[in-house]
Structure 1
Amino acid sequence: MRLTQFWEHMEETFGAAYARSVADDQVLPQLRGRTVNQAIADGDNVKSVWVAVCQAYDDRVPSRIRR
């Protein structure tokens, strides 16, 4: 998964403004207690970060864009 596709999925799931807020502010246990932006900055695989978002927001991520 490319970073651009990741952000498209985030924006589709949360809306453009809230997606950035989620990435900046929400600490996810699936990312070892880091935010999305911290995990990406640390060099985590973008696909793995997306999977973590899908797990954390299972009820919110549309099924057609999971994994």
Structure 2
Amino acid sequence: MRLTEFHDRVRAEFGPVLGDSVLRDHVLIAMGGVTATVALRQGKSLRDVWWALCDDFDIPRDRW
């Protein structure tokens, strides 16, 4: 997954405003208790961060 695809998926799922907030504010326990933005800065894979978001927000598996 590329960064642009990651952001496209976040915006498609949550909308442009809420999507940015989710990345900035929602703490992902699966990523060590950091936000998605911090996890990406730490070098976590885009796929793993996306999957953690999907799991936390109960997004249906077919959209993971």
Q: TM-score, normalised by structure 2?
A: 0.90
Identity %: 34
Q: Which structure has greater strand proportion?
A: 2
Residue in 2 that maps onto 1:43 = 43
Q: Distance in 2 between matches of 1:34 and 1:11?
A: 20
Q: Which runs of 5+ in 1 are unaligned?
A: none
Shift of 1:62: 5.0
Residues 27, 34 of structure 1: 8 Å contact kept: yes
Aligned to 2:53: 53
RMSD over aligned CA atoms reads: 1.2
Q: Write the distance in 2 (CA, Å) between the matches of 1:22 and 1:50.
A: 11
Aligned pair count reads: 64
Higher relative CO (Cα under 8 Å, sequence separation at least 6) belongs to 1
| Consecutive unaligned residues in structure 2, runs of 5 or more | none
Amino acid at match of 2:46: V
Aligned structure 1 segments of 4 or more residues deviating by more than 4 angstroms = none
